[in-house]
Amino acid sequence: MSEVIDAVEDGRPVPVPDHVSAPYFSACARGELWIQRCPDCGYRQHYPRPLCVECGAEPEWETTRGLGTVHTFTVVRQMGVEPFRSRLPYVVAMIELDEGPLMMGDVTDIDVDEVRIGQRVEVYMLRTGKDVAVPHWRPVRGDARGGGA
Ligand SMILES: [Zn+2]
């Protein structure tokens, strides 16, 4: 179970779940990061889709450990539009989940110049509504180092 923090309304766009993504965002609001796993071929995917992209079967939900590794990232230093301008500089990264899929998200709670490819990160949730939260990432706290263990 990951930490869920109520988001401060800052004007950033918030997700509007549809019938496919609603279970995902609802799990996020409970502090669980879900991905989809295909019951036929075992393929794991993110973002939520109605069908397995490998074989077309209907995917099932799987709870992740909420841990991953920075696969790649960029530091956003210029942005003329609010509310993003007020957040500069910030990091947007592709996180490789321990379960495999890549997921895009902000990396916070660290100086932007300290973020590195290969860095271990943990998810936390910013709740933007009753059944909606958005995954964010921060350096792993405690002893959860080492991928997939
Ligand atoms: Zn499949």
What confidence tens digit (pLDDT) does each residue in 18-72 have?
A: 999 999 999 999 999 999 999 999 999 999 999 999 999 999 999 999 999 999 9
Cα Dmax for the chain? 47
3-state SS assignment for residue 113: helix
Both tokens assigned to 24: 């995902």
Which residues have beta carbons under 5 A from ligand 1 (an ion)?
Answer: 38, 40-41, 43, 52, 54-55, 57
- Going from the Cα of 58 to the center of ligand 1, the distance in angstroms, rounded, reads 8
**Per-residue pLDDT at 10 exceeds 90:** no
Query: In 52-149, at which residue ranges do the beta strands (DSSP E only) sit?
Result: 60-63, 67-76, 90-97, 102-107, 120-129, 132-139
Question: 60 CA distance to ligand 1 centroid (A)?
Answer: 10
Q: How far, in Å, is the centroid of ligand 1 from the Cα of 39?
A: 7
For 69-81, write each residue's pLDDT tens digit.
999 999 999 999 9
Binning pLDDT at 50, 70 and 90, where does residue 142 land? Answer: low
Q: Quick: pLDDT tens for 67-117.
A: 999 999 999 999 999 999 999 999 999 999 999 999 999 999 999 999 999
Give the pLDDT of residue 149: 41
How far is Cα 105 from Cα 37, in angstroms, rounded to an integer? 21
Question: Is pLDDT above 90 for 11?
Answer: no
Centre of ligand 1 from the C-alpha of residue 44, in Å: 8
- Give the count of beta carbons closer than 10 Å to the beta carbon of residue 58: 12
149 C-alpha to ligand 1 centroid (Å): 25
Residues 111-138 pLDDT 10s = 999 999 999 999 999 999 999 999 999 9
Average pLDDT, the chain: 94
**CA 53 – ligand 1 centroid, Å:** 7
